[in-house]
Every structure is written in C-alpha cells, then in structure tokens.
Amino acid sequence: MYNKKIIYGILATLMAISLILGFIIFYLQKANELKVIFLNIGQGDAILIESGSNQVIIDGGRNEELLLERLGEFMPFWDRTIEAIVITHPDADHFGGLTGVLKNYRVENIIKTNAESHSRAWKSLQDIIAKEKANEIKAIFGLKIKFPNLAKIETLFPFQEVLQYSKNTNETSVVMKLIYGKNSFLFTGDLPSNKEDELLRAGIDVKSEVLKVGHHGSRFSTDENFLEAVSPKDAVISVGKNNYGHPTKEVLDKLKRRLTRIWRTDRDGNIVYQCQNADKKCQVFAR
C-alpha cells in the first residue's frame, strides 16, 4: 500500500516537473518569436508587431470596434498593455481606430510627428491621448525601438520636423524598418513618390524582404526606382474592398513584373508573418 503511494507520489511529482519544464520551454520559445500581422481593417493601415509579451501597433485603421476585434484575435485576453503606438500621419484611415485602443488598453508610448489635422476625429484622439498620459515621442530619423529578442525598428523618415499643418499629410508619413536577423519589413504609411525619391537621394538603406505598399497601392506611391531599391520578395497591400480604386493596376503590374508575391487584406484577410527566431526566415500565412 505504502509502496503504491510512494510510486504515485513520484509519478505525480515527475508529471508536475514535466509540465513546469514544458511551460518554461514554451515561454522561452515565445520570447524569441516575432510576429508581424497586417490586420484586415478595411480601407486603411493597421499593423500589429508582437515580440513575446511586447506589442507595437503601427496605425489603427478607421474603425475602433473593428480594430479591437482584430486585436482580440491575436493578443492574449489578459495582456492589456501595449508598449507603443505609432501614428504615421493624421489621416483618419490611419488613426481613427486607435481611439478604441486607448480607451481599452494601457498604452505606454505614443510615437508620432508634430503633424496635425483640423478634423474633429483627430481632436478627439488628441484629447484621449492627453488623458492616457502616455509618454509622447517624436517620430524622426534615427529613433529606434528595440525588443528583448534583439529585433529592432528603425525610423527612416521624416529627416526633420514636419510642418504642423501640411497641405499633403501623406508627405509627413513616418517610414519605419523592422529588422530581425535575416528578416526585414518596410512600413511606408502613405508616403508619396516624391518623398520616396528623397529617401533614395539621402542614401537610406530601404532594402527589405517585405514591403508594406505605400498609400494602399495608389499610383502616387511605389515608384519604379523605389521598388528597385527595396527589392521586396513580398508586398502587402492594406486596402478595403472597392475603396478609392486601390490598389491600382499600375502598381500591381510593377510588382508582378518583379515577380513579387502580393498579399492583399481585402482578399486574403489578416496577413501573418511568424518568425521563430533571428536565424530563420519568417513563415507567412493568411488568417
């Protein structure tokens, strides 16, 4: 009888140790893992970058309910903190959904330029940011975001402070490059071709495995020279269905001529890049 109890006790202890070791191994693996998720939020941009328990969101689409729904699909329900939000420029299809994030999550840092908008939606967002008391950081060339797994986001544009009220807010778009070992992603907001050319003339290294196509595939972005410099294997177009004629045939043809694999949120849904560690290429799938 006592022998059986001892045996059962040993087995229970071994099982508990196995479970603990399993959880430790699981979380160590997750700590090194990086995910880049282009969220399907209709017309607009919303990108979730996850590294372990750290999240960075670049833009938030137009609809706060839809953005919260998408975040709920990928973030664990118990994680109510977002380490940083990047607002590339003050266009509603890039910042509108972020009001819901600020109301429902603790946001530690907000990264944006000094570009402003006269719209009510932008004023409302600024009021919520002020209440959140997040650390506000100026988005400018040289700013870096570093993750514990050594992934990093570098700010490539703008080179200096932008006009507070610009006639073309797209020209103030923040451009960022995410680097994780062999993997690289270029996020361009709505940057137009004349500013793409400015990046190239400055000698900025824009070469990347994955390009978030500028301005949803508008003909005013993704110049041939810029595309040559980036040389992407994949191009992701964040776009809604039947909105503003995006993406244009002109841009799609440029990508096809380069044999670039094209992903579109309006057709493919959420585009997920899962990177297990810095030594391996990211796996991509639509969800």
pLDDT at residue 96, rounded to an integer: 95
Has residue 196 got a pLDDT over 60?
yes
Residue 11's domain comprises: 1-32
Label residue 75 left, alpha or beta by phi (over 0 means left) and psi (-120 to 50 means alpha): beta
* Three-class DSSP category at 42: coil
Has residue 66 got a pLDDT over 50?
yes
Look up residue 188 and give its two tokens: 């361009």
**What predicted TM-score, i.e. pTM, was given to this entire model?**
0.89
* Three-class DSSP category at 169: helix
Averaged over 203-215, what is the pLDDT? 97
What's the mean pLDDT when you consider all of the chain? 91
Number of domains present in the structure of the chain: 2
pLDDT at residue 24, rounded to an integer: 45
pLDDT at residue 135, rounded to an integer: 92
CB 276 within 8 A of CB 35: no
User: Is residue 136 located within the same domain as residue 200?
Assistant: yes
| Tens of pLDDT, residues 104-126 | 999 999 999 999 999 999 999 99
Q: Who contacts 46 (Cβ-Cβ below 8 Å, separation ≥6)?
A: 38, 39, 57, 58, 59, 60, 61, 67, 70, 97, 238
pLDDT at residue 6, rounded to an integer: 65
pLDDT at residue 28, rounded to an integer: 46
Residue with tokens 């057709």: 267
Query: Residue 194's domain is classified under what CATH number?
Result: 3.60.15.10
Q: CA–CA distance from 249 to each of 89, 165, 245, 254, 255 (Å)?
A: 25, 32, 9, 9, 10
User: Is residue 6 located within the same domain as residue 65?
Assistant: no
Three-state SS annotation for 60-78: ECCCHHHHHHHHHHHCCCC
User: Is residue 26 located within the same domain as residue 167?
Assistant: no
User: Is residue 132 located within the same domain as residue 6?
Assistant: no
Averaged over 130-156, what is the pLDDT? 94
- Beta-sheet strand order (sheet of 261-264): 144-146, 152-157, 175-180, 183-187, 210-212, 234-237, 261-264
| Tens of pLDDT, residues 11-63 | 556 665 665 555 444 444 566 799 999 999 998 999 999 998 899 999 999 99
DSSP state of 215: G
User: Is residue 237 located within the same domain as residue 272?
Assistant: yes
Residue with tokens 């402003």: 116
Averaged over 210-233, what is the pLDDT? 97
d(CA 159, CA 141): 5
pLDDT at residue 238, rounded to an integer: 96
